[in-house]
């Protein structure tokens, strides 16, 4: 078991009323002590639905602390992922999808044409290359 960033994970507040605790006997090798004592801790965080199971140590209290630390680390990771996902969604909304409908301007070399899609104006490629942008910025063409 590895718990990364323990200091930041400790900042996550977990209300004890939101936890369901269960104790069970461990599985695997360990002899009589492991088979007769319920040292494995299973913590369930009700609001998020996260479940953590720790059976690393021989002590129920140490396993409980480790399970709480692991739960905090997972809650922190879930929060950070949600924040990153929200940031990505906002950025995508600002930049557009890159599809044809997001275009601002079309430059057609073969047709000697530049079209500003926001205003609906057109000019020749030659005038556009020479810096005459007033044709694109002016009043939209009617008709």
Number of Cβ within 10 Å of residue 59's Cβ equals 12
CA–CA distance, 95 with 93 (Å, rounded to integer): 6
Q: What is the DSSP code string of 53-88?
A: EE--SS-HHHHHHHHHHHHHHHHHHHHHHHHHHHHH
CA–CA distance, 54 with 74 (Å, rounded to integer): 14
Reading the chain (143 residues) residue by residue, the pLDDT tens digits are 555 555 565 677 888 888 898 888 776 666 666 666 778 899 999 999 999 998 887 788 888 989 998 998 898 889 899 999 999 888 888 777 767 677 888 888 898 999 888 888 899 999 999 988 888 876 655 54
- Kindly report the pTM of this predicted structure: 0.58
pLDDT of residue 86: 93
What's the DSSP call for residue 47?
T
Structure tokens at 3: 């718990």
pLDDT of residue 106: 87
pLDDT of residue 11: 76
CA–CA distance, 117 with 126 (Å, rounded to integer): 18
In order of start, what are the domains of the chain with their CATH numbers?
Answer: 6-95 (3.30.160.20), 100-137 (no CATH)
């Amino acid at each position: 078991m590895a718990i990364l960033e323990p200091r930041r994970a400790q900042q996550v507040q977990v209300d004890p009323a939101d936890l369901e605790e269960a104790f069970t006997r461990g599985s695997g090798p360990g002899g009589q002590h492991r088979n007769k004592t319920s040292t494995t801790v299973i913590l369930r965080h009700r609001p998020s639905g996260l479940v953590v199971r720790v059976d690393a140590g021989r002590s129920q209290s140490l396993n409980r602390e480790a399970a709480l630390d692991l739960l905090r680390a997972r809650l922190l990771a879930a929060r950070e992922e949600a924040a990153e996902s929200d940031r990505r969604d906002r950025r995508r909304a600002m930049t557009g999808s890159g599809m044809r409908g997001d275009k601002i301007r079309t430059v057609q070399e073969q047709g000697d044409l530049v079209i500003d899609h926001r205003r609906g104006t057109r000019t020749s490629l030659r005038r556009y290359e020479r810096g005459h942008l007033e044709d694109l910025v002016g009043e939209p063409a009617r008709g």
